[in-house]
Amino acid sequence: MSNLAQSDLSKASSVPVPAKETRLMAGRKSKTHPLSAVLTAAALGAATLTASAAQATETGLLQCQGTETIAYSPGVTLTPRDITFTIDGRFTSCLDTANQVTSGSYDEEFTVTVGCNGLLDSFEGERVLTWNTGDTSTAEINGQSTAVLGQVITTITGTITQGRFQGRSVLQTVTLPQLGFLQCATTGLTGTTGLTTLTLT
C-alpha cells in the first residue's frame, strides 16, 4: 500500500463523530413491550398478595393435643444425683385456622442434678417444635408444676422467638401421674407418660 493511501486511512480513523450524532446515540433508550410490562406488574402483584396472605394466616389460632413421655436415667430417688432426662413430645392432632399444621413434636435430652423432691421445681429453657410441614418453631419457655389429686400438672408459658409462628404466645400443659413414694425410696422413678395440650395465640 502506498504512503498516500496509508495517510488517508489514518486521517479517516481519527475523524471525530459529530456532536449531534453523539447526542443522538446517547439519547437512544431500549423500549419495553407494553405486554411485558403488564405481565411483570401482574407477577409482582401476585407475589405481594401471596406473601400478605401467608402472613395473615399466621395470625390465627393453633391448638394441639397429644402425649409427653419422660425417661429418667438412672432412676430418680430421694437422694439428688445427676439424672439424664429424655423427653419425647408428640402432638398427634392440631387444629390450625390456616389448615396447614396438623401435627408436631419435640425431643429433648439434658442432664440435671435432682431428686424426687426437686421434680416439681420451676424451670426455664428453650423448646424446638417441629411441624408436619417441615417448619420449626423455637420457643423460650418457663414452667411451673403443681401436684393435684394424684397428678402433676405442669403449666408452660413463653414466646416463639424464631421460625414459624414467631412472636406468638405459648401455653402448654402437661399432666403426668404423681410420683410414687415407694419408687423414689427404692429402685427410683425411671419414666412417666401423660397427656399434653398446646395453644399458640
**What pLDDT digit, counting tens, does each position of 91-136 carry?**
999 999 999 999 999 999 999 999 999 999 999 999 999 999 999 9
**Percent of the chain topping pLDDT 90:** 65
Domain coverage including residue 7: 3-57
Task: Using the 3D structure, point to which of 16, 35, 57 is the last residue of a domain.
Answer: 57
Do both 47 and 97 map to the same domain? no
> What 3-state class would DSSP assign to 193?
strand
Do both 15 and 114 map to the same domain? no
Mean pLDDT of 52-78: 81
Do both 41 and 69 map to the same domain? no
Do both 30 and 71 map to the same domain? no
pLDDT computed for residue 55 by the predictor: 39
pLDDT computed for residue 60 by the predictor: 85
The residues facing 85 across adjacent strands are: 72, 110
User: What is the chain's mean pLDDT, rounded?
Assistant: 81
**What CA–CA distance (Å, rounded) separates 80 from 116?**
8
SS3 content of the chain, % helix, strand, coil (to 5): 25, 50, 25
The total number of structural domains in the chain stands at 2
Residue 164 has phi, psi (to 5 degrees) of -60, 145
Residue 151 has phi, psi (to 5 degrees) of -130, 155
Q: Shortest CA distance to 163 belongs to which of 201, 127, 193, 112?
A: 127
Cβ–Cβ under 8 Å, residues 170 and 157: yes
pLDDT computed for residue 116 by the predictor: 95
Mean pLDDT of 51-61: 53
